[in-house]
Structure 1
């Protein structure tokens, strides 16, 4: 926004000077300036003013404001946990005593003792809390939740605006804490996939709220300075990993194409553990980009600005590498409606048309949008400014670093389908299937996931349920257990369409079974029999033995599709526990919840 005499307290000369200065400042310079002005104002206030009449100071009443801050996170893939831990470090560097904990590890009865609470939580599936936030969410929304009149809080909510219930869990925590009497230190911030900048702004607001409560002023926390001269590869600074292998795991005649991709991490310094994921920044299909350029009659070589830092690229390159063009979201359509002025688009977004809008968003992309609601009469720069940045795709790592030093292996199912009169392709999966060759590079980073980890005790039995590409992390588990000589029993349930063409990593599993690294394996190939058989059917067939393993302390891991498979496997586990343990449905639910609390029931679902 341009400062003017009419919309600011500055005179014309001051406004012009500020308008020239502010766009040239970096984020760190803006943060420093904000802190400097705040500190100067505080010093002036303390030196010239007294406490207003009738409002005794904290010193005169003996009241002390706690510098203890509790940060609770609910995280499915690790993003919220990483942000919570980073927030904790920044606050500790500025003199606060910080406790960072998963919601599942926090004793809810201690909540009434907390004065400063920060919630960092993602939303999973269709508006659901992450697995490790379920019990705390249930407690807070139940009758046993305490009054929290002394609590100050703030919520950072992560989500994906292409889903209907965007950031729903964060919104629910924010509203409930207020209902219980809590006061906001800083307003809730809802983050889309590209969460770095809004999360940094939230931290600034939280720090200001905490500092104000202390009656002190200080510059907001700064980003950590780089350590030495070694580049630290991360989500915002990905490593370009060379492709070593790219193979199709499915046999001839299969309905599927599953790629096994091996990448080199040599020289990156990146490490990971079984259960972690890798983030891959893909490129859009050049053919789709060319269709979009043709439709809009844009010059592919036009130079456009791609980010707030002012980096520029030719338009075609920008559309291939920097922006998401295959997914439509409601916020995108709302911004597009403002740009185009198209009445039909405004009508689609109007109140009462929610179901029609939901139907339109499903399966369509930016090319559909510009075709359906043109002509646009806007520049390329104007249109790309409303697009989301290209989000990374997360894949469960399918290898052990101990077994394959300096390498990481991925198992990627190719996505192809037809809808709304056009063939559609998964951005990353079809890049790997059709265009990625050995010697090429992929920008990657490691996503640590503490919510999907092998037991600390190598003698603890494990049960793994992973149909299709859900097999990936369990290949990592087995490689690790083989390397470390773990003695605990292991049982795999795997499923796919056909035994002959779709038994992913078949030889490896059979060798592990022969060598005793894998104790038991049960498979379900749904298209090989008249009646479809799935992994949950195999689990029911072995319900007595499976429950015995649970009673022995086995940890259960599920990886794969959340909506259907993971839901059905969860219900099957409850049936088995109820039947074999002679329990009521409520007792079975408690049994599984207790397993989850002990980290003996973990899911990596999508």
Structure 2
């Protein structure tokens, strides 16, 4: 009996979608070569590394930061890893930190890399061209390892295709299909002064049914609504009937236990809940398939054709076909990047730019980006607000290179909701653990949260205030930063109310609250400057066993804050910078230094 091939597992972690794009390309190429493929994000992957050798043949990991910390490195060194073949696409701006860490862990388990790492920056569009030769090397190496499962080339391969199919997990993911709860907005409060150039909001939600028992430091995901006018325009542009009923079945990438609905659903409702038609830019495969097979109505086998765009197959206007052919060519790569990603064109806008393209709905439903939940750090304590959860949200807006106004789908949707007029609107929500574990009341805390990074720490302060009622809790030292005291001092009254003598932020109790206003003086002042001003207090708390929590922007802030801690330790302990850095790394290993950063 012919041996069945084990699956090729491709894991990715992504924030911008670039790693997901690369993973999908790898998956499609593997599938064309006859290999069963499972494509999955690392935060949704259930198996531990020690289980891979019994279920899978190959592990390929193209990854970005994403929720990488959910992936475990605690696998015992005795684990058998002989059947795991690791080929890691490393695409990090921060010195390839996460990929290096995984690479080292697999090496510790006795795993030899299949081929040399590709130290390329596929997080930029220039680097994507470098992925092609690396992929060619990958398939040659896989063929040498297992010629039966991985043919050397595509010459002898024939494939039958019924319709377009996404490689990515289905619209109804196994752990996201059913919300943990539904929320009703009861408060929408601006935290910044009107006209200051930034719009940060405080949102309060009530649980519609029973409350979820979340903890401080947890993360809330909400599914945003879409503009009804945009949904109507998309349906009209695609010549669809909004009232027609469709049935969704689990795809080949989903298990039989998938929670995908098997009852008819209105097409309009399906588009509203699953297809991001007016916010996300189409991924690369929406324009281009590396090798695409020409569809026809017969059931015979199809032969590979030249590189073609999905749109080109359905465009009837010659000038549109020529433009799509150019976008699909190597010469048109940069122009496609400028047209699509840089300008953040939406699916609806692209379809409107190519009016002769008429794509079947079964193609659209697989190629349109999935409407995703948005994750926010919870800014409340359930102990202080038993039936509520609060969020602190920056309403995202920007201007493209061609001066087109863009806004964040979820943040703008939330900002436009009026609690008085949307009483019947129930928001699907999911809760999960973040990277900031809830501290016990006896643990001193050093918190650094500039901008909206202060959001989780509002919950920390509320929680500790409740704990302080039943027994004196440990102090909190909080550093906050913003541009101007008058414009964007988020939660000013709240922080100051907890800073007096008996408050958990009071200096008299060993804590404190210090603010850096970066634009209120000629020379900019940031949180790291305020930290250095209070280095002795910080060092005293570290010696008392304090844990450090840092939250906010993932640009320079986390590294600048860590550099400030190194300076403080070096100065107060009288040791070298190298020794101070070693101490910080030990704090990380001991679970006393936590960072939650977002882009």
TM-score, scaled to structure 1: 0.64
Q: Which residue of 2 aligns with 1:404?
A: 385
Q: Is the 8 A contact 2:53 2:82 kept in 1?
A: no
**For the residues of structure 1 that align with 2:467 and 2:89, how far apart are their CA atoms?**
36
- Structure 1 residues 381 and 195, CA gap change in structure 2 (3 angstroms): closer
Q: Is the 8 A contact 1:547 1:580 kept in 2?
A: yes
Partner of 2:597: 605
Within the candidate set 406, 412, 433, 1:424 is matched to 406
Q: In the TM superposition, what is the alpha-carbon distance from 1:381 to its structure 2 partner?
A: 4.5
Task: State the match for 2:557 in structure 1.
Answer: 565
Matched, 1:106 2:106: no
Within a 5 Å distance, the mapping from 1:118-157 to structure 2 comes to: 126=92, 136-137=101-102, 139-140=104-105, 145=108, 147-148=110-111
Aligned runs of 1:576-591 on 2, under 5 Å?
576-591=568-583
User: Displacement, 1:513?
Assistant: 1.1
Q: CA-to-partner distance for each residue in 1:232-272, whole Å, 9 max, x for gaps? A: xx632112212222222223443222222212225335221
Contact 1:526–1:532 (CA under 8 A) maintained in structure 2 = yes
1:581-601 per-residue CA deviation (whole Å, 9 max, x = no partner) reads 444444333222211111111
Counterpart-to-counterpart distance in 2, 1:417 and 1:423: 6
Q: d(CA) in 2 for partners of 1:118 and 1:324?
A: 36
Distance 1:86 1:145 in 2: 16
- Residues 480-534 of structure 1, C-alpha deviations (whole Å, 9 max, x = no match): 1111226222111112222123121111111111232112111122232223322
Which residue is 1:334 aligned to?
288
Cα 1:538/1:270, change in 2 over 3 Å: same
- 1:56-71 matches, within 5 Å, as none
Distance 1:122 1:433 in 2: 40
Counterpart of 1:322?
A: 274
Matches within 5 A, 1:152-301: 195=169, 235-238=176-179, 239-265=181-207, 267-268=209-210, 270-293=212-235, 300-301=242-243
Q: Which runs of 5+ in 1 are unaligned?
A: 1-40, 46-71, 93-100, 153-159, 201-233
Local SS of the residue matching 1:409: strand
Does residue 441 (structure 1) correspond to residue 413 (structure 2)? The answer is no
Coordinate RMSD, CA, aligned: 4.7
* Paired residue secondary structure (1:559): strand
Task: Report if aligned partners of 1:306, 1:322 keep a CA contact under 8 Å in 2.
Answer: no
Please report how far the alpha carbon of residue 146 of structure 1 lies from its aligned counterpart in structure 2 after TM superposition: 6.4
Does residue 476 of structure 2 align to residue 490 of structure 1? yes
Q: Is the 8 A contact 1:281 1:393 kept in 2?
A: yes
Which of 439, 442, 451 is 1:455 aligned to? 439
Q: SS of 2:209's equivalent? A: coil
2:476 counterpart of 1:476 = no
Q: What's the offset of the Cα at 1:474? A: 0.4
Tell me, yes or no, if the aligned pair for 2:192 and 2:198 is still in contact at 8 Å. yes
**C-alpha distance 384-423 of structure 1, shift in aligned 2 (>3 A):** farther
Following the alignment from structure 1 to structure 2, what is the Cα–Cα distance between the partners of residues 254 and 124? 39
Residue in structure 2 matched with residue 415 of structure 1 by the alignment: 396
Structure 1 residue 405, shift from structure 2 partner: 1.1
Q: Does 1:388 align with 2:369?
A: yes
Report the CA distance shift for 1:584/1:343 in structure 2 as closer, same or farther (over 3 A): farther
Q: Give the whole-Å Cα distance in 2 for the aligned partners of 1:388 and 1:73.
A: 16
The Cα offsets for residues 330-364 of structure 1, whole Å up to 9 and x where unpaired, read as 23332692243434334334346555444431322
466-475 vs 532-541, greater mean Cα deviation: 532-541
CA gap of 1:115–1:338, structure 2 versus 1, over 3 A, is: closer
Pairs within 5 Å for 1:73-112: 80=42, 83-84=45-46, 106=74, 110-112=76-78
Work out the number of aligned pairs and report it: 467
1:524: which partner in 2? 516
Contact kept in structure 2, 1:194 and 1:389, CA below 8 Å:
no
Structure-1 separation of matches of 2:386 and 2:213: 9
Corresponding residue SS for 2:480: strand
On the 8 A contact 1:103/1:136 being kept in 2, the answer is: no
TM-superposed deviation, 1:293: 4.7
